[in-house]
């Protein structure tokens, strides 16, 4: 598998990053890392509670630190990032220089359905449709800096896309 032993999945909240990263880690025989879970281990509380008590800016600083530490301390992995991870502190550039970034470009309708079912998304609590639209507009350009982009939600297709990338 090429020189890239670090695969980062990026995309909107509800795009399936955690599910796909978990599937990919099995299929590519690489460890699975959920960045949100790594952050929770660091802050010792839920991300929603941290947002409420410390604010988004403090969270984004912790997120950046945990991302950098995880990259530095692990030689290989498939990582599910948070929806906002690539969009702050030039994290997309850090991830691009450290491995392969893959943008899961999920249709807005699918995102909205998934988000409405979830209670643990701090940025989506009030008027999720409006908030999703705002986030989409502000983040899409950054997500598109990823090395690969896919709108196929099948784990097999994503696995093949990545394998093909490594072969080229």
Rounded to whole angstroms, how far apart are CA atoms 17 and 36? 11
- The DSSP output letter for 89 is T
Instruction: Summarize pLDDT for 76-131 with one digit per residue, the tens.
Output: 999 999 999 999 999 999 999 999 999 999 998 898 888 877 766 655 567 778 88
Q: How many CB atoms are closer than 10 A to CB 83?
A: 22
Helices (H), 55-154: 56-73, 91-98, 108-117, 128-143
Task: Look at residue 2 and tell me whether its pLDDT is greater than 60.
Answer: no
Nearest Cα neighbor of 18 from 85, 68, 74 is: 85
Instruction: Provide the pLDDT for residue 34.
Output: 98
How far is 76 from 139, CA to CA, in rounded Å? 26
Predicted pLDDT at 123 = 57
- Write out pLDDT tens, residues 11-41: 998 899 999 999 999 999 999 999 999 999 9
Give the span between the Cα atoms of 32 and 164, in whole angstroms: 20
pLDDT the model gives residue 1: 41
User: Among 158, 160, 134, 5, which residue's Cα sits nearest to residue 77?
Assistant: 5
Q: pLDDT class for 132, splitting at 50, 70, 90? A: confident
Which H or E run includes 24? helix 17-28
Q: What domains can you pick out in the chain, each with its CATH number? A: 6-163 (3.40.50.300)
pLDDT of residue 120: 64
């Amino acid at each position: 598998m090429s020189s890239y032993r670090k695969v980062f999945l990026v995309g909107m909240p509800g795009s399936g990053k955690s599910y796909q990263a978990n599937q990919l880690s099995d299929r590519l025989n690489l460890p699975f890392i959920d960045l949100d879970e790594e952050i929770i281990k660091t802050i010792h509380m839920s991300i929603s509670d941290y947002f409420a008590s410390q604010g988004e800016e403090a969270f984004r600083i912790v997120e950046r630190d945990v991302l950098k530490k995880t990259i530095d301390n692990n030689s290989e992995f498939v990582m599910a990032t948070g929806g906002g991870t690539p969009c702050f502190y030039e994290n997309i550039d850090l991830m691009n220089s450290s491995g392969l970034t893959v943008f899961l470009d999920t249709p807005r309708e699918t995102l909205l359905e998934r988000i409405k079912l979830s209670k643990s998304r701090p940025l989506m609590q009030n008027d999720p449709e409006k908030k999703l639209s705002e986030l989409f507009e502000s983040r899409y350009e950054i997500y598109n800096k990823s090395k690969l982009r896919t709108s196929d939600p099948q784990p097999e297709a994503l696995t093949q896309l990545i394998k093909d990338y490594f072969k080229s």
